[in-house]
Structure 1
Amino acid sequence: MEDFKMNEKVLVTGGNGFLGMHIIAQLLARHYQVRATLRSLDKQAAVRETLAANHVANLSQLEFSKADLSADEGWPEAMTGVQFVLSVASPVFFGKITDEKKAIQPAINGVTRIIKAAQNAGVRKMVMTANFGGVGFSNFDKQSITDETYWTDPEQPGLSLYEKSKLLAEKAAWKIINQPGNQLAFSTINPVAILGPAMSAHVSGSFGVLENLMNGSLKRVPNISLNIVDVRDVAKLHILAMETPAADGQRFIATNDGQITMPEMAAIIRKAEPELANKVPGKRMPDWLIKAGALVSQQAREAKLLLEINRNVSNQKARKMLGWQPMATNEGTVLATLAAMRQYGLL
C-alpha cells in the first residue's frame, strides 16, 4: 500500500497555512508525493524548516509550485501529474468594505479556477475546505440536529463576510461539479472553528476567540456556545475523504463531539494560565446587551447570530461513512491552542 501511495501525487493549496501544513505532514506520513502551492516560492525554505522542526517525515517527497488563486498563471503546471487536489486556501478580502462583491468574488473565482484547472488536467478527485458557516448559520431550532443537509441562507442577517464568502464559494463549486460531463470527483469538508496545536505562528483566525478572552478587551464574557475542532482531526478528515470513493459528491462536517461555551473556555484559560486570570473576565454578558447592540453594530449582529443558532451539530456522517473519529475533546483542544499560543508568543 505504501509503495502505491508513493506513486500518487497530491496537490495541496496554501502550503504554508495553519491547516495546510498539518495536511502536508499527514500526507507525507502516509507516503504520498506532495506538491504544495505558494504565492511566492520565497516561502518554500521556511515551510521546509517549519515541517522539519516539527519532525515531519519524508520531506524528500515534498515539492512546491508557484500559483496564486487570483490568477490563472501557474495552475496548469501545478496540476501536472497530480491525482488528487486538496483545495485548502481561499482568498478573502479583509480591507474596508465598500463593495461586497469585491470582497466575496475572489473566493468564488479562486475555487472556480482550481476546479477548472483540475478538470483540464484530468485530476481524479478534489476535496475542498469549505466551512460550517455554509451549513448551519440559518438553523435556529435548538431542538434539532444540524447535519450536512443544511445550507445557510446567504442573506442571513449577521452572517460575517468570511462566512458568506466561504458559503458562496462552496455553492459555486457544487454548481460546476454538478454540470453534465464533469469527471472530477468532489467532496467538501465543512469545519467548525479550527483550533489546536500550530506548527508556526501562522494560525487560524479562530484563535481570535481565545485572544479576545485574554487581551483585556472584554469586561464580560458572552454566553455563546461554540463548536470547535482540532486541526489534526480536520487534516485527517480531508485525507479520509480523498481516499474513500463513497465520499464522492458528499459534504462532511468536522467537529468535536458536543459544544463548549465561551464562559467554559474562559474558565479553562484561567486555570491553565493563572498569570492571565486577571485579564479573563469572570462575569457573563447578558444576552439582551448583545441583542441591543445588534441594532447598531455589525460586530454585535454577528455575535447575536452566534448566540441564536443551533449548536447541536452532528459528526456522525464522517464517523459512519469514513471511519473518522476526532481524537480531541473540547477541553483538550482549548489547552492545545493555549500551548501553541504560548509557544509562538501569541499570549
Structure 2
Amino acid sequence: MATILVTGGSGFVGIHVVLQLLAAGHAVRTTVRRPDRQVDVLAMLREGGAAAPESLSFFTADLTADQGWREAVAGCDYVIHVASPLSTSVPKDENEMIVPARDGTLRVLRAARDAGVRRVVVTSSLGAIGYGHKPREKPFDETDWTNLDGADVQPYIKSKTLAERAAWDFIAREGNGLELSVINPAGIFGPVLGPDFSGSIEIVRSLLDGAMPAVPRVYFGVVDVRDVADLHLRAMTAPEAKGERFIAVSGDTMSILDIGRLLRRELGPRARRVPRLQAPDWVVRLAATRIPLLQAVVPMLGKVRRATGAKAETMLGWQARSGEEAILATAESLIRLGLVKA
C-alpha cells in the first residue's frame, strides 16, 4: 500500500478521495488550511462510513504560502491535488481566484518533485476545456482547451485553465521525472457528507429550498463525486495515465429545469418547493444587476456544452453512475443532514 497526500481533504471532492483511499488500505495524509478543520474532516469521514481512520494524518498548509508543503509531501508515493479556491460569486479582482489556484498548484508540484513523489494527479475542470468557444455539436474532449478570450470565461474558469496550463508547463520544463495526470470533471453532484460542498450542490439545495421562483436556462454536464474520486485513484496508478487528461462526465447535459423535474418526480412531497418554471433570459439578466450570485450565470444562458468521458472509460476502465442517480444522491443527503428547509 502507498502513502498518499490529498490536498484539500475538507472539500467535497477531497473528502471522497480520502474515503476511497482509506477503504483501499492506503496510508493517507491530507492538508487543511487551519488545524481546527480536522474535526470537520473526521466528522465527514464518519458520515461516509470510515469510523476510525487510524491511517489518516493531517498537515496544515495553504495554497498561498510555502509553509507546510515540504513536510506534507515528505515520504509520499503519490499526491492528489484537489484543493483550489472556489467562490459562489464573481470576485471584483479575478486574480483573487487565479493567483492562488495557479501558484498553489505550482507549490504542490514543486514540493512533490523535490520529495521524489512518483506522480501527481491534479483536479482541474471541464471549465479548462469547453469554454470560450462558438456553439458546436461535437462533444468536447481532452484535446480541447478553453479559449480565455471568450465572453463566457468567468474568473473561476480562467483560474482552472491557467492552473492546469501552468502544471503541464512545469512538468515539461522542470518536472525532473515527476509524472502528471489531470482530471477534468463536469458539474459534480452526489452524496454530501457535511456542510462543506461545491457550487453544483448549491443548485440542488436552492431548488429544494424554493430559493428561486423560476430557474435560469442553464445546461451542464453531470458526474457523481464518487466516480470523480474513483477516476483520481485510477489515474494515480495506471501506467497509461501518465501525461494524460481525463474528462469526468456521465451521459448528456442536463438543464436546471431537468433537475427540478427529476426531483419533483422522485422525491414527491419533499420536493414541494422546487420551481416548475424556467425564467426568460432577459429576466435573469435584469435580476443579475441586483443579485451578485446571478452574475456568473448570465454568460451561461442557453449554452449547451457537451463533453465525452470515453477516454477514461476505454483507457482506465472507468464507469460512471447516471446523472440522475448523482442528482438524487445529492438531494437525499442534503435532506438527511438537515441542510435544506424542513
Between the aligned partners of 1:19 and 1:169, the Cα distance in structure 2 is 18
Contact 2:132 2:149 in 1 (8 A): no
Between the aligned partners of 2:83 and 2:16, the Cα distance in structure 1 is 13
Task: State the TM-score, normalized to the length of structure 2.
Answer: 0.90
Per-residue Cα deviation, 1:279-310 (whole angstroms, up to 9, x for no partner): 32222223455578789998666434333444
Query: Paired residue for 2:248?
Result: 254
1:340 aligns with 2:340: no
In structure 2, stretches of 5+ residues that fail to align are none
SS at match of 2:149: coil
Query: Paired residue for 1:78?
Result: 72
Contact 2:3 2:76 in 1 (8 A): yes
Between the aligned partners of 1:250 and 1:30, the Cα distance in structure 2 is 23
Query: Paired residue for 1:44?
Result: 38
Between the aligned partners of 1:169 and 1:270, the Cα distance in structure 2 is 38
Q: Measured at CA, do residues 115 and 280 of structure 1 come closer, stay the same or move farther in structure 2, by a change above 3 Å?
A: same
- Please, what is the CA RMSD of the aligned residues? 2.5
Per-residue Cα deviation, 1:101-153 (whole angstroms, up to 9, x for no partner): 23421111111111111111111100001011111112333321111111112
Q: Measured at CA, do residues 303 and 95 of structure 1 come closer, stay the same or move farther in structure 2, by a change above 3 Å?
A: closer
How many residue pairs get aligned? The number is 340
Higher mean C-alpha displacement, 303-312 vs 71-80? 303-312
In structure 1, stretches of 5+ residues that fail to align are none
Per-residue Cα deviation, 1:35-94 (whole angstroms, up to 9, x for no partner): 111122333244234323432277222111121111111111111100100000013467
Contact 1:146 1:310 in 2 (8 A): no
Contact 2:132 2:153 in 1 (8 A): no
- Letter aligned with residue 153 of structure 1: N
Contact 2:89 2:293 in 1 (8 A): no
Contact 1:227 1:311 in 2 (8 A): yes
Contact 1:229 1:333 in 2 (8 A): yes
1:91 aligns with 2:80: no
Per-residue Cα deviation, 1:239-293 (whole angstroms, up to 9, x for no partner): 0000111111111111112222221111122234444555322222234555787
Q: CA deviation at 1:212?
A: 3.1
1:170 aligns with 2:164: yes
Per-residue Cα deviation, 1:17-39 (whole angstroms, up to 9, x for no partner): 11111111111111111111112
Report percent identity of matched pairs: 38
1:1-347 to 2 correspondences below 5 Å: 5=1, 8-56=2-50, 59-92=53-86, 97-179=91-173, 182-275=176-269, 277-287=271-281, 289-290=283-284, 302-326=296-320, 328-347=321-340
Task: State the TM-score, normalized to the length of structure 1.
Answer: 0.89
Contact 1:137 1:152 in 2 (8 A): yes
Q: Measured at CA, do residues 223 and 81 of structure 1 come closer, stay the same or move farther in structure 2, by a change above 3 Å?
A: same
